[in-house]
Amino acid sequence: MVEKIKNVIEQIRPSLQMDGGDVQFVDFDSASGLLKIELMGHCAHCPMSSVTLGQGIEAELKRSVSEVKEVRAVQM
């Protein structure tokens, strides 16, 4: 499951990198479906990061990996 999630993140990553940002897998709780990621670079401090997270990253991960129920950005 984790590898499948990481593969989707790799597909998302180039569009974030074009704007100076990035995303990294942190943890996945299969019992709750909670995926934790870290937004990095410009994405970490961008006022639009909540839109990027919800409508971009989370939407794609939920569509591609049905076990993902929620995506939460954390700071490491």
Domain of 29, CATH number, reads 3.30.300.130
Following DSSP, what letter does each residue of 5-72 receive, concatenated? HHHHHHHHHHHHHTTTEEEEEEEEETTTTEEEEEEEEHHHH-TTHHHIIIIIIIHHHHHH-TT--EEE
Q: Give me the tens of pLDDT residue by residue for the chain, a chain 76 residues long.
A: 999 999 999 999 998 899 898 999 999 999 999 999 999 988 888 788 887 788 889 999 999 999 999 999 998 7
**What is the Cα–Cα distance from 5 to 54, expressed in whole angstroms?**
16
Which one-letter amino acid corresponds to residue 43? C
The predicted pLDDT at position 33 comes to 97
Domain that holds residue 17: 2-73
The predicted pLDDT at position 45 comes to 81
